[in-house]
Structure 1
């Protein structure tokens, strides 16, 4: 019994399965949410206070912090970063 995926990298496997972009985007969103939540926790910022700092609604913040919601605008992420005293960097590799 042999598998075509033996000794291939995980990235290669995802590409062969046609889901590399989707999985990568989902992972990036989860990391981003985790970083924002960590900064909020470290600084003792509640969701209500965070929404106020971002000048947005609590519902909008909940959408941003939902790792399953991949429909997030970059300016929203930038506002969230600024609200916790951080900067948001995006680059092509």
Structure 2
């Protein structure tokens, strides 16, 4: 029965890896440029940037929104939500 134990471990690991892969999208040139610009902006503040971005959205969250709103978001905007963040929280407190 030891083989069953290892089979369960391999199965759960495979599911975890597939879930991570599903939520990982390649970065477009647009996203790469935005990341560079954000890094330049942050460097102006010596690591103490006064503004904070909201958390990034998963591809599943974006798809759920599109389905519930019956719309298709532009790809660059979906990429921004997924790779950068879902808006700004505003100034650090």
TM-score (norm 2): 0.31
Higher relative contact order (CA 8 A, sep 6+): 2
Looking at secondary structure, tell me which structure has more strand per residue.
Answer: 2
TM-score (norm 1): 0.31
Q: Which has the larger radius of gyration?
A: 2
